[in-house]
Amino acid sequence: MELSEAIKGRRSIRKFKPDSVAKELLVDILEAGNWAPSAKNGHQWRFTVLTRKAKDDYNSMFRDTLDGFIKKHGRNEAGSAPGTLAIMEEAPVLVIVWNTNEYGWPSEEHSVAAAMQNICLRAYDLGLGSLWIGDVFYAYPETIEYFGKNWKLSGAISIGYPDTVGKVPKKKSLDEVAEFIE
């Protein structure tokens, strides 16, 4: 696939088929993540790949945490999180993405974001769908404690075979986001 086709054709997928994803494909996708540029070539990303029972168990912890949040703060404050959780439950794979935060620099988060983008692009290249998930932050300390990690949580990515053609959202024009100065 042409790189420009991958960049523009990738969509956030929010409806997945139940079919599992072969481990070789997941390894290939994570390999793409591991080839991202990183601050000081520090490879600050770490990936925890959840499938089957491990994914269900994590989602169930997430649901309990979110229910507690909604009881305390109200449904409105939970924003898109309940909808995102339903997608996490449907997709056969959930990758939790960590930042080892080796130097404590903000730029280490950029390294991890670059890895996440590579993952989403390679998944699309292989005929899979992905969803970059920030809503896991609703269970930020809970997720770190659940896995017993000494890292920062950067997000998560749902992966699976798409059961939809992702709708193309309205993107800003380049004029709105770029300036050229001579």
Ligand X SMILES: Cc1cc2nc3c(=O)[nH]c(=O)nc-3n(C[C@H](O)[C@H](O)[C@H](O)COP(=O)(O)O)c2cc1C
66 CB-near residues (< 8 Å, 6+ apart): 78, 81, 82, 85, 138, 139
Both tokens of 46, joined, read 């770490």
Both tokens of 160, joined, read 């699976």
Contact yes or no for 6/125 (Cβ under 8 A): yes
Contact yes or no for 53/92 (Cβ under 8 A): no
User: Residue 166 CB, nearest distance to ligand X (Å)?
Assistant: 5
DSSP 19: -
User: Residue 96 CB, nearest distance to ligand X (Å)?
Assistant: 13
User: Residue 87 CB, nearest distance to ligand X (Å)?
Assistant: 6
The residue (of 68 and 134) whose beta carbon lies closer to ligand X is 134
Q: What is the distance between the alpha carbons of residues 118 and 32, in angstroms, rounded to a whole number?
A: 6
Both tokens of 67, joined, read 């229910």
Residues that bind ligand X (CB under 6 A): 11-12, 14, 80, 84, 131-135, 166, 169
The residue (of 27 and 139) whose beta carbon lies closer to ligand X is 139
Residue identified by tokens 């005929």 is 127
Q: In what order do the strands lie in the sheet with 152-160?
A: 45-51, 93-99, 152-160, 129-133
User: Residue 14 CB, nearest distance to ligand X (Å)?
Assistant: 6
The residue (of 22 and 67) whose beta carbon lies closer to ligand X is 67
The residue (of 96 and 133) whose beta carbon lies closer to ligand X is 133
The residue (of 23 and 80) whose beta carbon lies closer to ligand X is 80
User: Residue 130 CB, nearest distance to ligand X (Å)?
Assistant: 9
